[in-house]
Structure 1
């Protein structure tokens, strides 16, 4: 198991980043719950969006510790890099899910 390396960042950057990713997963959980709540009105297609949201939530939660340790280690060694791939993929998934939800509402 990976040992957490202590860092000297007074702003607790890795912790704030981890909390931001956690807030993202919570917002996806809320969106899933809302789609499930309105599934009777929106139709069976809303379950596909919920399944995709649950998949994204699981991926984010399973990779949370790895992202935290990598960012923490980068602060300690002075070699942090932005998670461009993670941010761009989450942005594109959010846009896709938003578009699917809008089309679902307009279709019903």
Structure 2
């Protein structure tokens, strides 16, 4: 028998938390872009890493959320 997922609000709160984390990483990367011309490659590298990490977290979180919603709708 497959374990059932928690149909309560905890999965939704976790999903929202990851969404906020991803958004903050992307916004921080955007803010750092203005420093790129002054500080050069290190800032550009950090900006790229933050942006990629934010997008990666968002895409993974979105996939998990969609899967969980499908599971709740289908009863499992």
RMSD: 2.7
The reply on whether 1:54 has 2:51 as its aligned counterpart is: yes
Q: Match for 1:24 among 12, 21, 26?
A: 21
TM-score (normalised: structure 1): 0.50
The two structures have a TM-score, normalised by structure 2, of 0.67
Query: Offset at 1:67?
Result: 3.2
Equivalenced residues, count: 67
Question: Whose helix proportion is higher, 1 or 2?
Answer: 2
Structure 1 unmatched ranges of 5 or more: 78-108
